[in-house]
Structure 1
Amino acid sequence: MTRELCISGVEIDLHEAPLLGPIDCAVKAGWPLTLMGPSGSGKSTLLNWMVGSLPPGLTARGRILLDGDDITDLPPHRRRLGILFQDDLLFPHLTVAENLAFALPGGMGRAAKEGLIQAALAEAELPGHGARDPAGLSGGERARIALMRTLLAEPKALLLDEPFAKLDVALRERFRGFVFAKAAERNLPVLLVSHDPADSAAAGGLTIHLDKGPPAAKPAERGV
């Protein structure tokens, strides 16, 4: 089955003033969609609404469909949308392994959890790092652990809120490739928001520009 994430007729207002939209688009697995725009254009707000955490003062209209199911009104934990932010948001009081375990179901047995954690560490190219303090990891290592924690929750689509912005140029290029490869392996639709054209080029697929009037999609070239 080809997974698909659709947003239909989405409009967002800030204190009753139009902020974003209307937006209609579909994101198929293997063809990431990038929303490009400057700060204040509403792109991160859109992702917040999609995961069910719209801040006060903002109102939204529209629907979210995932694999044909309307998830708009579901509670956040049932939407099956994974999200990755600029900051890795690892818990400083937990080890790397405990951070990964946080994404796993509570009823899972200890051996099963340990197997998944060790597999995630290997996939992140950090075998043997489970007992480490997250503060002792490099920026790129923390970013990879944050992604693996998101993926361990088994989302059906992946939202990216400028997760490459705080990395240096070399790490940014490597992490982009890592993120898109892991999403492709899991057959996930990917919706990226960014202000960096290099992110859009690396993602490929379509790009929607939010700062040039009504949203219009155009293809982005692959490669950085």
Structure 2
Amino acid sequence: MNKDILGKAVLDYQNGNYFEDIKTFSSLEEEDVIPVPYLFRVYKTMPDLEKKALKLCKGNIMDIGCGAGSHSLYLQKKGFNVTALDNSPGAVETCKQRGIDQVILADILDVKNQKYDTLLMLMNGIGIVGKLNEIDAFFTHLKSLLKPKGQILLDSSDIIYMFDEDEDGGYWIPDGQEYYGEVSFIMEYKGQKSEPLPWLYIDYNTLQRAAIANNLTCELVYEGEHYDYLAKLTLLGK
């Protein structure tokens, strides 16, 4: 098993060795493809949701799960003090080669004693929580990284539409699943597969309840056309 499928793919692209995209297989029994060039998109080709998030960024920024670094690179060029963070060695090396000044190889939960004005989590950035029952501990940690008037900008999607609807308007959720937005992914690239990765898609109402329970305000700042949304979280009373 190769744990850094994404990193290998983006580093290959950065070094001119691109001829294959990333395949994904999910517990929703759907096979999909991540086009590697898309991870290197420039601002003008980014979705409106991402453009909105980047416009809301302020101060000292950490781009959590930065991937190939497209968001960090844009913010750096705009003059922001931005740190790109990822737990993928290949992604971190790609960011360095692309000219991003501050890059950290780490899991966000291992970052300590730092304070930021903006914590940016795009491309379903909240997905790294994995399981809904881990969100309280995750928010507690993120709050420790926020300046008093800091903000968390994150996007996700409500994937209830992917489940079959019954005659009463309810949905058929597989047995044993605590929350319908909990998905497991496997990525494949050049014949190598990753270990299963737990990934969370969270509907806005559930996110808002979790935020409030953790003394965070939660504002819906953008809704996309495909059940996706952008939210801004801030420390309550700040």
The TM tier, using the shorter chain, reads 0.3 to 0.5
Q: Which has the higher contact order (CA 8 A, sep 6+)?
A: 1
TM-score calculated relative to the size of structure 2: 0.33
TM-score calculated relative to the size of structure 1: 0.35
